[in-house]
Amino acid sequence: MANDSMHCLSRQSHVSIVLPPIMIMEFLLGLPANAMALWIFCFRITLWKPSTVYLLNLVLADFLLILSLPFRIDGWMRNENWVFGDVMCRMNLFMLATNRSASIAFMTTVALDRYFKVVHPHHPVNHLSARRAVVVAVSIWALVFSLRTPLLANKLLNQHNNSSLCRSFSSYSKPTLGIRLHYALYIGEFFLPFFLLLFCTLRTTCILRSRQLDKEKKVRRAIKVIRVIVGVFTVCFLPGILTGIITLLIQKFRPKDCISYSISAELFSIAVGFTYLNSALDPVIYCFSSPMFNKALKTAVNSLGLCHLDVSRRGSVATSDEWHKDSGRV
């Protein structure tokens, strides 16, 4: 795409200073946390439920996103100069967008699973087998991949002052259909799940308090899961959405104000960098959501000999029967 089709194109030098340390921290926190989670799900958990299937796919989405970060870190450390070529630019931005979308989708699925188990315990969705949950997970991945494919069909590398800028959100004067779809998905994939999660949280809390069930341990755990996911959504994704919308509004209604546009665009890029923190925070969701994962994690930590964590109510390692009993809880 030629530069005459770009609006207020400039290199984001301030972002190149601020963002690399943040993204390096996200990578260093997220890689071991998600690698450990992936190992636990693959080798330590033997009894599979729909919620466990969804959590495993959330781990996969986070892990793949983390593996894509070093390329972005390299680009920002070179003062936003992408040296890997146009094809790698498209693939990298496609992977980041795909795994971000999948992460949001599976977080929402986990929250909805908890909502139905608590508020509608007799609903047919609560009787899904693990096999059918796999079908649901595959369908989510297929939908996400198909919606993000336009990123592979658009040139995302732009030349500016002897630098190659690799951006999926850029200052296009006339965005292509694929880029407009990308913008719409970025906004829609936040607001729809966010309002669903708020609904689940408020309705679950109100119904359980009216039934005087909000003091039961398993019910409190379910509410915590939903609230943690809402918290992750708000902290990690809301700043990027707000700054992105403001940037688009400036471009739409004040197209000649390149100074305001550039400042807003830089704030947006920093906010997008914070969204990857989601992948480092998601292991907290695994611990709240799955008693089996929590116990497996404690057992794994104990086996390293660094410290001793209580893995059962009685202070000893849980038996297989206890694990099976816990796995049937909310």
Asked if residue 327 belongs to a domain, the reply is no
Contact 62, 96 (CB under 8 A): no
For 69, the 3-state DSSP assignment is helix
The low-confidence residues of the chain, meaning pLDDT below 50, are: 1-3, 313-330
- For residue 319, being part of any structural domain is answered with no
At residue 326, the pLDDT reads: 43
**pLDDT for 2:** 41
Helix, strand, coil % in the chain, rounded to nearest 5: 75, 5, 20
Q: Are 270 and 18 in contact (CB under 8 A)?
A: yes
Q: Please check whether residue 89 is in contact with residue 166, taking contact to mean a CB–CB distance below 8 angstroms.
A: yes
The strand pairing partners of 166, in sequence order, are: 157
The number of folded domains in the chain is 1
pLDDT confidence of residue 119 = 83
Q: What is the pLDDT of residue 219?
A: 65
Tokens representing residue 211 in the block: 């039934």
> Does residue 326 form part of some domain?
no
- 67 lies in a domain? yes
Mean pLDDT of the chain: 82
**Which pLDDT score is estimated for 156?**
87
- Please give the backbone phi and psi of residue 157, each rounded to the nearest 5 degrees, phi first: -105, 120
Q: Tell me whether residue 307 is in a domain.
A: no
Place of tokens 């999660």: 197
For position 325, what pLDDT does the model report?
44
- Asked if residue 141 belongs to a domain, the reply is yes
- 3-class DSSP state of 81: coil
Write down the pLDDT at residue 216: 63
Per-residue pLDDT tens over the stretch 262-291: 999 999 999 988 888 888 888 777 776 666
For residue 295, being part of any structural domain is answered with: no
DSSP state of 317: P
Which of 190, 92, 94, 103 shows the shortest CA–CA distance to 147? 94
Confirm whether pTM is higher than 0.75. yes
226 burial class (0-12, 13-18, 19+ CB within 10 angstroms)? buried
For tokens 């739409």, what's the residue?
252
- Report how far apart, in Å, the C-alpha atoms of 81 and of each of 71, 106, 113, 163 are: 11, 33, 43, 5
Specify the 3-state DSSP secondary structure of 98. Answer: helix
| Token couple for 139 | 């369908």
How far apart, in whole angstroms, are the C-alpha atoms of residue 30 and residue 40?
Answer: 15
Owner of token pair 């983390």: 66
Q: Say which CATH number the domain at 241 has.
A: 1.20.1070.10
- Domain of 220, in residue numbers: 3-289
Look at residue 201 and tell me if it is in a domain.
yes
